[in-house]
């Protein structure tokens, strides 16, 4: 998931969604946040997780 940097309301919303999802699905490593220079949106905040 990606949100445009500075869109704090969107970041807060998606962090809650990802946190709930990873917790409820017992994804032990949780998720990682980073900042990505996206070719379409410029700088974005990204959350990543794995089902492995």
What are the φ and ψ backbone dihedral angles of 13, each rounded to 5 degrees?
-60, -50
d(CA 52, CA 45): 23
pTM: 0.65
Give the pLDDT score at 11: 84
Q: Is 43 helix (H, G, I), strand (E, B) or coil?
A: strand
pLDDT in tens, 18-52: 889 888 888 878 788 889 999 998 999 888 888 76
Select from 19, 6, 16 the least CA-distant residue to 45: 6
**Domain that residue 8 falls in:** 2-48
Q: How many CA atoms lie within 13 A of 49 on its CB side?
A: 18
Residue pair 31/47 in contact by the 8 Å Cβ criterion: yes
Res. 14: pLDDT tops 80: yes
Domain count, the chain: 1
């Amino acid at each position: 998931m990606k949100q445009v940097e500075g869109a704090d309301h969107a970041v807060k919303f998606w962090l809650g969604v990802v946190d709930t999802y990873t917790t409820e699905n017992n994804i032990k490593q949780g998720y990682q946040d980073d900042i990505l220079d996206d070719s379409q949106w410029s700088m974005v905040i990204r959350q990543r997780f794995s089902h492995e």
